[in-house]
Amino acid sequence: MPAPPDSPRFRGGPASRRLSTLRRSLRASPVLGPLVAGAAYLPSRVVSMEWYRVMERAPGDADPAVDGLEVRRADRGDGPLFESIGKNTADEFERRLSDGDVAFVATLDGNPAGHLWFRSGAWDEGDVRYVLDEDDRWGYDLFVHPGACGRGVGPALNVAGLRQMAAREGATRMLSVVDVLNDASLASAARSGGVPRAELVVLSVGPWGAMREKDFGTGATRWRRLRRGGPTDYRVSRSRVGAAD
Ligand SMILES: CC(C)(COP(=O)(O)OP(=O)(O)OC[C@H]1O[C@@H](n2cnc3c(N)ncnc32)[C@H](O)[C@@H]1OP(=O)(O)O)[C@@H](O)C(=O)NCCC(=O)NCCS
């Protein structure tokens, strides 16, 4: 895989990265953005604040063709290959497969370029448990090798992975969360046909937890109290994406 490109994303020390996070957060929201970005510098057992967009996509929503790219389902023994991409360890890879998760790997001109994982049943993210329908799949750990970023590998993994999950397991909907302050993830998610369903701000201060939910379907915003340490169930309402009716 080529070296990471000389872009602002890969250049600069901690100070310039902090400055660009602050700029991004101000762009996202002049009040909430800096609060969320600032909370990342506090110990998470004292204060934590996460701002996610819940994305939904259906098989066949988009087809971002990429020259030289292949996406295939990963199998036992692919641990070292996943490790070479730079995010998962080989042990982590084997453990997740044993737990029943499914992974896809992308190669670009024969070189390992990225991966995407799927889970069924439920997904825990901090104090929130996303409860899934039988034909829902949770997409997580979408990761592209720095040398392959910006070439459509992420969107292609989303699309090809979900299409294969639909063909093999009857999945009708993929859900995932993206960090609202991560421009690359938002652009990549939109390019693969992702539709934002809701926006969540998950806040915890010491023993207290709360979540603000904005449902893009109904336009309603509401606050919910969260139990700390034992997740609170959250079900993503269905849009017409993948709906049976
Ligand atoms: C987020 C990620 C999966 C996107 O995959 P990708 O294959 O790069 O996706 P795309 O090719 O569609 O590029 C998406 C955006 O990334 C940004 N980007 C990609 N490569 C970049 C680079 N070298 N420098 C700066 N920005 C870059 C661009 O803004 C691009 O959008 P644009 O073309 O509309 O400007 C990938 O960048 C990644 O693995 N990042 C680190 C892990 C992560 O954040 N995972 C997401 C978990 S929610």
CATH code for the part of the protein at 14-234: 3.40.630.30
Q: Kindly give the number of the ligand 1 atom that is closest to the alpha carbon of 5.
A: 23
105-119, 133-147, 185-199: least confident range: 185-199
Whether ligand 1 lies within 6 angstroms of the CB of 191 is answered as yes
In the chain, what is the straight-line distance between the N-terminal and C-terminal CA atoms, in Å?
Answer: 45
Q: How far is the CA of 8 from the centre of ligand 1 (A)?
A: 12
Q: What is the pTM (predicted TM-score) of this model?
A: 0.87
Burial of 139 (0-12, 13-18, 19+ CB in 10 A): buried
Residues 54-70 have a mean pLDDT of 86
For the chain, the domains span 14-234
Q: How far is the CA of 225 from the centre of ligand 1 (A)?
A: 33
Per-residue pLDDT at 13:
65
What are the tens digits of pLDDT across the range 36-45?
Answer: 888 888 887 7
What are the tens digits of pLDDT across the range 73-91?
Answer: 999 999 999 999 999 999 9
- The residue whose CA has the least distance to atom 19 of ligand 1 is 150
Q: Kindly give the number of the ligand 1 atom that is closest to the alpha carbon of 144.
A: 39
More confident residue, 127 or 79: 79
Q: How many angstroms separate the CA atoms of 71 and 174, rounded?
A: 17
Enumerate residues 6+ apart whose C-beta is below 8 A from 197. 54, 55, 56, 175, 215, 216, 217, 236, 237, 239
What are the tens digits of pLDDT across the range 128-184?
Answer: 999 999 999 999 999 999 999 999 999 999 999 999 999 999 999 999 999 998 888
The two tokens of residue 128 are 């929130």
What are the tens digits of pLDDT across the range 196-211?
Answer: 999 999 998 888 999 9
Whether ligand 1 lies within 6 angstroms of the CB of 155 is answered as yes
Whether ligand 1 lies within 6 angstroms of the CB of 182 is answered as yes
Q: Kindly give the number of the ligand 1 atom that is closest to the alpha carbon of 7.
A: 24
Burial of 52 (0-12, 13-18, 19+ CB in 10 A): buried
